[in-house]
């Protein structure tokens, strides 16, 4: 079965994971452009990583809010920005999803649950080079974990 462009239906959904970083937003842009061209669904995922709590505590204190409220506000802002960018690139069937836990594990779990045909991520996220040197990057972990096609966008 194909869509109006003759593209097989198995290309019907993509997942773009974003943490709001420039690299992740480039991955969202790539996924949105492809979703627009193929008239595919685009799922945009933000994972609140458990390891981010020290940063979030400072953010919550500055905003005079609870950590939960700060996380919720930041995650929704990230998802809204990514959805807006996706629609500007022509994607029409855009959905957002928020999860918490280990980023790579949650991205793979979401991809399986949603039945997407490809995951898009940025090569470097908000963690920066030091965090990647100490813990490894999400994109590196996904390269070993992903059961489906993975697009790592520079």
Range ranked top by mean pLDDT from 13-27, 53-67, 121-135: 13-27
Instruction: Provide the whole-model pTM.
Output: 0.81
Lowest mean pLDDT of 27-41, 78-92, 114-128, name the range: 114-128
Residues 103-120: what's their mean pLDDT? 95
Rounded Cα distance between 20 and 126, Å, is: 7
Q: Looking at 78-130, which runs of residues are DSSP E strands?
A: 93-100, 118-122
Its CATH class, for the domain covering 11-153, is alpha beta
For residue 12, name the pLDDT band (cuts at 50, 70, 90): confident
The DSSP code for 93 is E
Boundaries of every domain in the chain: 11-153
Rounded Cα distance between 118 and 151, Å, is: 7
Rounded Cα distance between 128 and 114, Å, is: 29
Q: pLDDT tens digits, residue range 30-79?
A: 999 999 999 999 999 999 876 655 555 555 555 556 667 777 888 999 99
Q: Looking at 101-140, which runs of residues are DSSP E strands?
A: 118-122
Q: In 3-state terms, what secondary structure has residue 15?
A: strand
Which residue has tokens 């809204």?
80
């Amino acid at each position: 079965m194909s869509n109006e462009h003759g593209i097989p239906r198995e290309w019907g959904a993509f997942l773009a994971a974003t943490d709001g970083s420039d690299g992740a937003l480039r991955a969202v842009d790539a996924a949105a452009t492809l979703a627009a061209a193929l008239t595919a669904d685009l799922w945009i995922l933000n994972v609140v990583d458990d390891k981010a709590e020290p940063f979030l505590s400072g953010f919550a204190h500055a905003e005079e809010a609870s950590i939960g409220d700060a996380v919720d506000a930041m995650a929704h802002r990230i998802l809204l920005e990514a959805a807006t960018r996706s629609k500007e690139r022509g994607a029409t069937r855009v959905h957002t999803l928020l999860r918490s836990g280990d980023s790579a594990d949650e991205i793979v779990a979401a991809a399986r649950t949603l039945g997407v045909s490809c995951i898009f991520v940025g090569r470097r996220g908000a963690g920066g080079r030091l965090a990647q040197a100490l813990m490894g990057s999400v994109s590196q972990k996904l390269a070993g974990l992903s059961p489906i096609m993975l697009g790592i966008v520079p």
